[in-house]
Amino acid sequence: MKALFYTREFPPYVYGGAGVHVEYLAAELAKLMEVEVRSFGDQKEAGGNLTVKGFPFDNPVFNQADDKLKAVLKTLSTCVQMNADAVDADVVHCHTWYAQFAGILTKLCYGIPLVITTHSLEPLRPWKREQLGRGYDASSWVEKTAIEMADAVIAVSKETKQDVLKYFDVEEDKIKVIYNGIDLQQYVATEGADTLEEYGIDPSRPYVLFVGRITRQKGIIHLVNAIKYIDPGTQVVLCAGAPDTPEIAKEMEDSVKEVKKARNNVIWIDKMLDKQAVIQLYSHADVFCCPSIYEPFGIINIEAMACNTAVVASAVGGIKEVVVDGETGLLIPLKQQDKAPFEPVDPDQFSRDLADGINKVVADPELRASMARKGRKRVEDHFDWIAIARQVEQLYQSLIG
């Protein structure tokens, strides 16, 4: 059996959870079958059962296009290029809307089963219109078409499955819940601390950590607004880069600048660090905070838990299936608006509640140690890529008979 992956992100160009997912799933599946990855970029590698080829995204033919439409037009162009090479796989598997048009073409042109993993859903991310303009209508059409014509849809959480059923015309028996996973040998607590030294983090003082992109979805502005309510002795480390738009980048800059007027222990690392650096940050943090307003799964939470770090996270989406409230961390209720973009009804109260959760964990060493221990155990029991890859293999086999 051979699987063909289409993805926007693949090492060394990974900036979000979907890219992490594809990297590790491809590596684990390659132990079970032949896997070909076609991605955006200039990758070219082959080893054992895994081959990777990148396809160009920055096509100069679109240089004169509307700024907000460039990304969509370049995406569709790359998806067409991905189909130029002959396809000899038994199943094609797409990750995020960026690669789904490639999968649509492959199913139509080559007649092989199409699998879609729903890392997120466009109807639940309306803030993307800020980034794409009318291109958001195009991305939504691509996603809807791909999901509804897929032979199987993988939902990364039970709540995501319900979202698929709500927003798309898909038969329930075509949807399979398969969680994200983690490399348990790589994500392990470490004593190494050179990353802390490099960015001026005091290892003798407690700190709360955020890791992620600067987007509406990740809720980072709510955490920044919570800083004024966090105990003054707790350092705040924001490992946050890759802003979606210049506007949210400016909002982030202004918000951090404002809170720094009142305290000197806020450290903003405004770029995406490599894995080993991030593992160090997880390992030494007293608490990891995930303030997302929309999160189908939230792979960053299991990364933190694997590194023996307690989690304080918003009680939304798949996070509720990952973090066990009171055991591996604290879930912060988020009363949201009834319609997208699902922002908090009372943003200041949400920020206060985040801060209260962080303060509670930081102030209680016994609770923190217990959460750290139970968090690692939960990851070992439920989110190992080895078991997850076998579930995906079984799904493929069911499609090709």
Q: Strand 50-55 and strand 44-47: pairing?
A: antiparallel
Dump pLDDT digits (tens) for 84-138.
999 999 999 999 999 999 999 999 999 999 999 999 999 999 888 988 999 999 9
Same structural domain, 377 and 269 = yes
Same structural domain, 235 and 358 = yes
Q: Which residues contact 305 (CB under 8 A, 6 or more apart)?
A: 311, 322, 323, 328, 329, 375, 376, 378, 379
Q: Is 241 in contact with 273 (CB distance < 8 Å)?
A: no
| DSSP states along 327-389 | TTEEEEP--B-SSTT--BSSHHHHHHHHHHHHHHHHH-HHHHHHHHHHHHHHHHHH-BHHHHH
Q: Do you know the residue count of the chain?
A: 401
Q: How many CB atoms lie within 10 A of CB 337?
A: 11
C-alpha angle 322/396/107, rounded to 5°?
A: 110
Same structural domain, 396 and 354 = no
pLDDT at 131: 86
The DSSP 8-state label assigned to residue 272 in this structure reads P
Same structural domain, 150 and 199 = no
Same structural domain, 326 and 376 = yes
pLDDT at 336: 85
Dump pLDDT digits (tens) for 197-247.
999 999 999 999 999 999 999 999 999 999 999 999 999 999 999 898 899
Distances (CA, A) of 2 to 112, 168, 242: 11, 28, 34
Same structural domain, 141 and 256 = no
Is residue 88 in some structural domain? yes
- pTM (two decimals): 0.90
Q: Is 299 in contact with 182 (CB distance < 8 Å)?
A: yes
**Looking at residues 13-31, what average pLDDT do you find?**
94
Same structural domain, 25 and 151 = yes
Same structural domain, 247 and 355 = yes
Q: How many domains does the chain have?
A: 2
State which residues form the domain around 144: 2-181+384-400
Same structural domain, 161 and 32 = yes
Same structural domain, 25 and 90 = yes
Is residue 171 in some structural domain? yes
Is residue 294 in some structural domain? yes
Dump pLDDT digits (tens) for 128-178.
898 899 999 999 999 999 999 999 999 999 999 999 999 999 999 999 999
Is residue 79 in some structural domain? yes
Same structural domain, 135 and 262 = no
Q: Which residues contact 347 (CB under 8 A, 6 or more apart)?
A: 222, 225
Q: Is 313 in contact with 287 (CB distance < 8 Å)?
A: no
Q: Is 372 in contact with 308 (CB distance < 8 Å)?
A: yes
Dump pLDDT digits (tens) for 303-349.
999 999 999 999 999 999 999 999 999 999 988 887 767 789 999 99
Same structural domain, 371 and 388 = no
Is residue 359 in some structural domain? yes
